[in-house]
Amino acid sequence: MATNKILNTFAEIISQLKEVPDNKIDLQHLNNTEEKLQDILSQLQFELLNAQKQKNWEKVNKFKLAVSECQLTLNKVRAAIINVSIIGINQNNLAQMQKILEEIDTARKTQVNIDLAIRLLGFLRRLFL
């Protein structure tokens, strides 16, 4: 399932951010995150098109929201890259990242992938404020 691939990419992003040295996200991490979010956006857009072809309007609405959230998050990451700032990760964010990784594992098993993807994009966007 494509949404599992999306969740796997989220898990990679969160795991990498969780392990940054000195809890400081640098330009290399930002560039890596941007690349992975761009991949997620492409996958979400593909899933949106499939849902539209199938006329599954519930999924269409969810994927539209996910695409929008991903674009907003990508914009935040790109803004951070332009500013070439170093973003600190505090203990609350580290704890939330661990919880997110656990939620990703659960979502893989229960197939509530897109709802979790939308929430994860919101977290990532807040992280790059």
CA distance 129 to 127: 6
Confidence of residue 85 (pLDDT cuts 50, 70, 90): low
The pLDDT of residue 87: 66
The pLDDT of residue 112: 65
pLDDT at 49 over 90: yes
* Dihedral sign (CA 5, 19, 70, 66): positive
State residue 128 phi and psi, 5-degree precision: -95, 20
Confidence of residue 64 (pLDDT cuts 50, 70, 90): very high
- Residue boundaries of the structural domains of the chain: 2-6+21-127
The DSSP secondary structure of 78-126, one letter per residue, reads HHHHHHTPPEE--HHHHHHHHHHHHHHHHHHHHT-HHHHHHHHHHHHHH
Confidence of residue 100 (pLDDT cuts 50, 70, 90): confident
Q: In terms of pLDDT, which residue wins out, 25 or 85?
A: 25
10's CB contacts (< 8 A; 6+ apart) are 40, 100, 104, 117, 120
The pLDDT of residue 58: 93
- pTM, rounded to two decimals: 0.73
CA distance 87 to 65: 26
